[in-house]
A and B are shown apart, each in its own frame.
Chain A
Amino acid sequence: MGEFLLVTIQVDMHDQLALILQDDLTKAIEKQGAKGVLIDISSLEMVDSFIGRMISDISGMARILDAKTVVVGMQPAVAITLVELGLSLTGVATALNVERGMQLLRRALSESNDDSFINR
């Protein structure tokens, strides 16, 4: 994955596990100097306000650590439910699948290399 971290969430996480993931991931960004984080949630059958907030928080923390986060693979039923619940994941970049998410990260990275002080 080079400069990117790929996280695939494959279990129905209890809350503490979601917080541990958030913690581990921010540490990994720092340790590896990752410029991008791809979170694959295609296996998640539900995103409630707790998981939704974790995704937003990871995205915000990663940004402060100079990494871009893209969430990929959200199931349509999950997206519909999430919006009705009242969570729109404002500020979180999303893509349909891993491939498009990677494209998004590569593009963002090449843009930030062009004008690294202006656009971050």
Chain B
Amino acid sequence: MTTVSSTGELPLRNEHDIVLGRQAVRRMAQELSFSLVDQTKMVTAASELARNALIYGGGGLLKWAILQNGGKRGLRLTFEDQGPGIADIDLALTDGWTSGKGLGLGLTGARRLVNEFELDSKPGAGTRVTVTRWK
């Protein structure tokens, strides 16, 4: 059973918040004794998803939670925005597809960098992406 030992949130209003989000995720991953590669993967995934929330969602929130499951500890990050949402989730999860000016690697790339990935979105109802990495 997974229990949550601590939580918090950070706003994603501008590009500086993306940097602050990356730094906060790095600190938490270090506190959880993630390997350097795992830290880097989680920070990079966070950077992609925070930028998506800002650019496509018009800003939002990064919520974090430290998880405990038996002897395992993990970090769960949720990126929420109240933007236009994603009409075609399958298309959005296709490598190289982008609705904007990006490379189309944000969502698909972030998914490859984490252990668990969940995407909830409806047109007009915003987008929520949840990613988890276990130690």
Chain A residues within 8 Å of B, Cβ to Cβ: 12-16, 45-50, 52-53, 75-78, 80-82, 84-87
Asked if B73 is an interface residue, CB under 8 A from chain A, the answer is: no
Judged by a CB distance under 8 angstroms, whether B127 is at the interface is no
Main SS of chain A's interface residues?
helix
Contacts A14-B16, A49-B102, A81-B41 aside, 16 further interface pairs with beta carbons under 8 A come to A15-B15, A15-B51, A46-B43, A48-B47, A50-B47, A52-B103, A76-B37, A77-B36, A77-B37, A81-B113, A82-B44, A84-B41, A86-B108, A86-B109, A87-B103, A87-B109
Question: B76 interface residue, CB < 8 Å from A?
Answer: no
- Chain B interface main SS type: helix
| Chain B residues in the interface with A (C-beta under 8 A) | 15-16, 18-19, 22-23, 26, 36-37, 39-41, 43-44, 47-48, 51, 95, 102-103, 105-106, 108-110, 112-113
Q: Are B18 and A15 in contact (CB under 8 A)?
A: yes
B37's partner among A48, A53, A81, A86 (CB-CB below 8 A) is A81
When chains A and B are docked, how far (Å) is the Cα of A78 from the Cα of B22? 14
